[in-house]
Amino acid sequence: MVSSSRDIAKEIAKKYNVTLTSESLSAVAEIITTYRFKHRKFIQNEGDIAENILYIEKGLLRLYRIDNEEEILEQVVHENDMLISYESLFTGQPTSQLIQTIEPTIAHCIQYKQLKELAAKHEDVMNLMNAILENSIIKLRMESRLMRLKPIERYKALLYLDSEAVRRTPLKYIATYLDMAAETLSRVRSAINNNQEDYH
């Protein structure tokens, strides 16, 4: 059963430890649109202009780009998480990022322009919007730091940060996220399983 827009607004506020008044809660609920997507459905294509912040109630999605005909994974999100295509959302320019479901997904879309308009009228909604953006930026910074680590350290850090995403995401996608060949990732996994800490 899909949650109501008001319930989703409550869940998002709870996730970011922000208390919304009943009026603000209703206002946020009104700008939430719910969609069901099948497996491998494209939600955003290259060249689109991003307008929404996505809250995932159920399912798994990937955000990626294509570089020299290779898919480069940038984010994987699942239940109770947000997905934001920053480069287009903030600039209003066509995006180079694609969003595709990895599993059947229920996603709740919040139009960023409408959220900003609400934030200008309600201080608590402003707090919520800032918390969403700040949390997402922190997450992006943490993920960028992974790329400075050796392969086995990168994979261990990813397991620590989001073992659920690692478990559910196909190996080929995780490999591109970690900037390594699938064969290398397989060896990394084997090294971890065999406690070969000196792999690099």
Tokens of 177: 């996220």
pLDDT per residue of the chain (200 residues) written in tens, 0 to 9: 678 999 999 999 999 999 999 999 999 999 999 999 999 999 999 999 999 999 999 999 999 999 988 898 888 999 999 999 988 998 999 999 999 999 999 999 999 999 999 999 999 999 999 999 999 888 878 877 877 888 778 888 888 888 899 889 998 999 888 878 888 888 888 877 776 554 44
pTM: 0.87
In our burial notation (b when 16+ CB lie closer than 10 A, e otherwise), range 18-44 reads bebeeebbebbbebbeeeebeeebebb
What is the number of H-type helices and E-type strands within the chain? 8, 8
What sign does the CA torsion over 50, 124, 105, 63 have? positive
